[in-house]
Structure 1
């Protein structure tokens, strides 16, 4: 299996939280084919681990969101553009 390319485009998270996000996303992309399933898995993991309401968008998008402080990351895993943030 080819190695997945990862690029963080924007982050307002701690380094530790960024690493966890990428680990969770890599697993999601490996296990699921459908973007909705990838997004649901990432969101569920972050709600379980950090509480509150998290949002995850996978695919092509333009957005304007108001996340809680230190809880936003936008990145790509291979050809999947992913936005994860906690609702304000």
Structure 2
């Protein structure tokens, strides 16, 4: 199955962006909850507190410009991953 990908906004390394994409693809292809899976993987691998929101459409505003985050669209799903705390 081919997926369309578009990175909308990001303030994290290219490697971490690829990792977020790979986690999301795995979750999508195995019918896991994307938000829960990506959050757990990033907390295990990178420490700290991560939040992930996944859905068909949503708007957001992150108050800190220097926050570690990525917002991308994978197929028809928008995914926002960001670190807090």
Q: TM-score under structure 2 normalisation?
A: 0.88
* C-alpha distance after superposition, 1:16-63 (max 9, x if no partner): 111111111111111126xxx110000000000001110000012112
Aligned residues: 84
Name stretches of at least 5 consecutive residues in structure 2 with no aligned partner.
none
Q: Secondary structure at the match of 2:78?
A: strand
Distance 2:25 2:7 in 1: 13
- 2:72 corresponds to which of 75, 79, 88: 75
* Structure 1 segments (4+ residues) deviating >3 Å: 66-70
Partner of 1:52: 48
Partner of 1:29: 28
- What is the alpha-carbon root mean square deviation over aligned residues? 1.7
Partner of 1:10: 9
Shift of 1:87: 0.8
Q: TM-score under structure 1 normalisation?
A: 0.85
